[in-house]
């Protein structure tokens, strides 16, 4: 069974977001082994400099390195400059990753300042959900929903219409 690691920076603060993630995590159970790993967000001053942000992203990225270096994994960075895919194309990509012999998909959601360039460079793909801006914590719910939709597409389920 394919393993999907959702690697995030920061904790979900709102109960309704935790409930939504819990629901999609439960729905994904028959399709993949889902693991959500939360790393702490670096503390920054109210008006951080570019150097402050760069150092914070580097520190956050160091925590992720062991998971991203596992043999047989495919790393995806969620970032604004990433490629946008339809739900169908995402499903095709997941199937292709699996057929190519990768047993783990790591999906990285950084902090509100993003993901360090070092981590992005370790990724096989950069993915964007939209050109629109969404609350940072909502990204986790959105990617879990799209993963569930992708597995439904691949298995001929009725969820995707």
CATH number for the region 3-154 comes to: 3.40.1280.10
Domain-by-domain residue ranges, the chain? 3-154
pLDDT in tens, 88-110: 999 999 999 999 999 999 999 99
Given a cut of 70, whether residue 41 has pLDDT beyond it is yes
Residues 22-49 have a mean pLDDT of 95
Q: Tell me, what's the pLDDT at 93?
A: 98
Q: Tell me, what's the pLDDT at 119?
A: 97
Residues 26-45 have a mean pLDDT of 95
**Cα gap 105→87, rounded to integer Å:** 17
Residues 6-15 have a mean pLDDT of 94
Residues 138-145 have a mean pLDDT of 95
10 Å CB burial of residue 4 (0-12, 13-18, 19+) is: buried
Residues 24-48 have a mean pLDDT of 95
10 Å CB burial of residue 26 (0-12, 13-18, 19+) is: exposed
Q: Tell me, what's the pLDDT at 159?
A: 75
Given a cut of 80, whether residue 160 has pLDDT beyond it is no
Q: Which of 34, 40, 35, 36 is nearest to 11 (CA)?
A: 40
**Cα gap 22→19, rounded to integer Å:** 5
Give the containing element (helix H, strand E) for 3: strand 3-9
Q: Tell me, what's the pLDDT at 140?
A: 95
Return the percentage of the chain with pLDDT > 90, whole number: 89
Q: How far is CA 158 from CA 7, 82, 149, 154, 155, in A?
A: 28, 29, 10, 11, 9
Residues 36-58 have a mean pLDDT of 93
């Amino acid at each position: 069974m394919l393993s999907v690691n959702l690697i995030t920076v920061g904790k979900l603060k709102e109960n309704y977001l935790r409930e939504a993630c819990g629901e999609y995590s439960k729905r994904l159970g028959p399709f993949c082994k889902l693991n959500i790993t939360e790393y702490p967000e670096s503390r920054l001053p109210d008006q951080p400099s570019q150097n402050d942000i760069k150092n914070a992203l580097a520190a956050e990225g160091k925590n992720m390195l062991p998971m991203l270096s596992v043999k047989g994994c495919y790393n995806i960075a969620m970032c604004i400059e990433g490629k946008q895919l339809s739900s169908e194309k995402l499903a095709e990509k997941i199937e292709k990753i699996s057929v190519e012999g990768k047993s783990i998909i790591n999906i990285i959601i950084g902090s509100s300042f993003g993901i360090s360039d070092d981590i992005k460079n370790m990724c096989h793909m950069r993915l964007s959900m939209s050109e629109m801006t969404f609350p940072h914590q909502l990204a986790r719910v959105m990617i879990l929903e799209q993963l569930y939709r992708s597995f439904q597409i691949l298995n001929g389920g009725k969820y995707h219409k």
